Amino acid sequence: MNKFLFPVYAIIIGVVIAFLTKNKKTIGTKLLLSFSGAFLLALTLFDLLPEVYEHLDAKRTGLFIMCGILLQIILEFFSKGAEHGHLHIHKDDTQFPWLLFISLCIHSFLEGFPINQHNDMVYGVFIHKIPIAILLTTFLLESMYVKGQAISFMLIFAAMTPLGTLVSNTTSIAPEYLTAINALVIGIFLHISTTILFESGEGHKFNLSKLVVICLGILIAYFV
């Protein structure tokens, strides 16, 4: 049951943190984002990647992973990088960001698939979603969008990853196709996590803190 609920818990935690830290610019969210990137990348490499290469031809696996990277690049063209912490707030904009909403939902739906076969991946998705939920909630709070739309946005976004896990768990998709989808998701995870890790911090003091949380994320993922 946790594999369905943990992604929802992450959204709830992120929303609560966003409300508690409203109008406060802290380094904590960026460090949490760095930790989540390292943790997700390490879990992908330790758990998900070896299993995919074991069940699919190596060249086909590489092809699906590259397709996942390309898919994420396309999604980010519409989401503007919200999946790894980039959200640009235009306070005077009243038009609801449908492209952002749709691209984030597609991303969240797909990342639910590996959780069904790899329960440990739910922890990576859980940690990944918390800072994203914080940034999304902050973005919606500071925008001029209708509150009902903003609430619906977060509710549907929270439901998409469990929905992906449910589809993977209940539909009669051939194991080979599920493995191919997992390879696609690996590409998505690789692109997001490496983008987070390779982006520069704000100043040299932050870089040291960032290095520490990245190492911590990798270490914890190794023992999960």
Element (H, E) at 57: none
Planar angle of CA 101, 67, 184, nearest 5 degrees? 75
* Closest of 112, 138, 106, 102 to residue 28, by C-alpha: 138
**Per the confidence metrics, is the pTM higher than 0.85?**
yes
pLDDT at 219: 96
pLDDT in tens, the chain (224 residues): 678 899 999 999 999 998 888 756 566 778 888 899 999 999 999 999 998 998 888 999 999 999 999 999 999 888 777 766 666 555 566 677 788 889 999 999 999 999 877 778 899 999 999 988 988 888 888 777 777 888 888 999 999 999 999 999 888 888 889 999 999 999 999 999 998 888 755 554 557 888 899 999 999 999 88
| H-helix or E-strand spanning residue 117 | helix 113-117
3-state SS, residue 172: coil
> Hunting for tokens 């758990």 — which residue is that?
47
Q: Cβ atoms within 10 A of the Cβ of 59, count? A: 8
Q: How many CB atoms lie within 10 A of CB 45?
A: 17
Q: Cα–chain-centroid distance for residue 187?
A: 12
pLDDT in tens, 80-101: 777 666 665 555 666 777 888 8
Give the H or E element holding residue 197: helix 175-198
> How much is the pLDDT for 108?
93
* 220: its two tokens: 């914890």
Residue where the block lists tokens 């997700």: 40
State the distance between the two ends of the chain, measured CA to CA, in whole angstroms.
18
